[in-house]
Amino acid sequence: MTIRYGFLSTHPPTRCGLATFNAALAGQLDRTGTPGGIVRVAAAGDDFRPAPGVVHTWTAADPAGWRDSAEVLNTFDVAVVQHEYGIYPGRDGGEVLSVLRRLTVPSLVVLHTVLTRPTPRQKSLLEQVVAAAGAVVVISRAARDRLLAGYAVDATKISVIPHGASDYAGAPDRRYERPHLLTWGLLGPGKGIEWALRGLARLRSLDPMPVYTVAGRTHPKVLELHGEAYRAGLHRLGADLGVAHHVRYESAYLDEAALGGLVRSADVVVLPYDSTEQVSSGVLVEAVAARIPVVATAFPHAVELLTDGPGLLVPHKNPAALATAVRRILTKPGFAAALRERSGHAEPAPRWPVVARRYHELAATLVAARARPVAGVST
């Protein structure tokens, strides 16, 4: 079935996880038939240069933005809406609900955050979003279980489709003579890099001592509100701990080829996130798909993918446990290779073409249901 998809999301040149996710999914779904289009949600400081595939831009400054966005999405066969509380105008991003209620085409909403302890308004909003959607996708079983346990939603609407993975697997890129630890992604408070630095300081006895790369720009919203204060604090902490010369910060934007080489150069991917709520992590999925051992705090998506899987879980804000886990991977003979072979209990990280096929199949059921005549009504 040929379906023209309209997408509502942040989108490149905005650089955030949601924009990257939407670009990857849209790019793959376009290959299934007639090209679709993106309604891009943009903040005041974003880059507004024309971007391929973007047919409309919604800014918070436009009071009719939600109405215009819905009208553009109604020109497609299915609207795919990426949902995060912080990207849409209105309190808790509530104007996305106005868009959904104005749609005349089937809608497929992807929930990237499902909170355990939402505010009453956040809980009500998410329940209304699910009610208004034709179908809802969550990216992990943890998100589905949390949604069904904590929110009044129709379970028959909920599907689990994993985050897609790029093809970063391949021959190791041995760009460092020392063991290489890596964290990548947008930088800001909550990323937990300070705990990784404290863990690195506990690895001084290793010979050679690892080098730790922190790759990624500061998150645009963090940059707008606080500048580079978080990154500057990390530099000061590294100096205070005496590990600054073992840490490399790569703040330049990396294209897919450059990022793939960096990932393949890692011996351990370190995800020291502070959040106990995170039910979706694209970086985690990419690391697992690339078969790089992971040391991560026990956020929900990590628990799901790494339990008896290709990595180790450590408590939050515990540099001693983090250092012990890294040391074990780097020094225990055969342990890193054994981790790479462990698949755990979760579904293997699928490549983006497989993920897009599952979205297409789900969208096709929405289109078919809409076209089906109502029983008892002649056509």
Span 58-71, mean pLDDT? 92
Top-confidence residue, 306 or 32: 306
What pLDDT, on the 0 to 100 scale, is given for residue 35? Answer: 77
Asked if the model's pLDDT at residue 83 lies above 70, the reply is: yes
In a domain, 191, yes or no: yes
Query: Do both 316 and 359 map to the same domain?
Result: no
In a domain, 173, yes or no: no
Query: Do both 194 and 298 map to the same domain?
Result: yes
From residue 109, how far is each of 15, 82, 121, 165, 190 by CA, in Å?
Answer: 21, 6, 19, 20, 26
Top-confidence residue, 123 or 168: 123
Residue range(s) defining the domain that contains residue 39: 5-164+351-371
In a domain, 174, yes or no: no
Q: Are 237 and 319 in contact (CB under 8 A)?
A: no
In a domain, 44, yes or no: yes
Q: Are 29 and 360 in contact (CB under 8 A)?
A: yes
pLDDT tens digits along 299-358: 999 999 999 999 999 999 999 999 999 999 999 999 999 999 888 777 777 899 999 999
What pLDDT, on the 0 to 100 scale, is given for residue 33? Answer: 65
pTM for this prediction: 0.88
62 — pLDDT class (breaks 50, 70, 90): confident
What pLDDT, on the 0 to 100 scale, is given for residue 107? Answer: 98
| Residues facing residue 58 across a β-bridge | 41
| Structural domain total, the chain | 2
Query: Do both 149 and 240 map to the same domain?
Result: no
Query: Do both 87 and 204 map to the same domain?
Result: no
Query: Do both 129 and 262 map to the same domain?
Result: no
In a domain, 376, yes or no: no
pLDDT tens digits along 227-262: 999 999 999 999 999 999 999 999 887 888 899 999
Phi and psi at residue 182, to the nearest 5°: -140, 135
Q: Which of 7-16, 39-48, 112-121, 366-375 has the highest mean pLDDT?
A: 112-121
Query: Do both 111 and 248 map to the same domain?
Result: no
Span 161-189, mean pLDDT? 87
Query: Do both 156 and 237 map to the same domain?
Result: no
Query: Do both 125 and 225 map to the same domain?
Result: no
Would you call 346 helix, strand, or coil by DSSP?
coil
CATH number of 273's domain? 3.40.50.2000
Query: Do both 223 and 367 map to the same domain?
Result: no
In a domain, 346, yes or no: no
Gap between the Cα atoms of 374 and 259, Å rounded: 51
In a domain, 377, yes or no: no
In a domain, 113, yes or no: yes
Query: Do both 223 and 244 map to the same domain?
Result: yes
Query: Do both 356 and 269 map to the same domain?
Result: no
Q: Are 89 and 95 in contact (CB under 8 A)?
A: yes
pLDDT tens digits along 126-167: 999 999 999 999 999 999 999 999 999 999 999 999 999 988
Asked if the model's pLDDT at residue 379 lies above 50, the reply is: no
Span 51-58, mean pLDDT? 91
Query: Do both 138 and 240 map to the same domain?
Result: no
What pLDDT, on the 0 to 100 scale, is given for residue 377? Answer: 52
In percent, how much of the chain has pLDDT > 90? 78
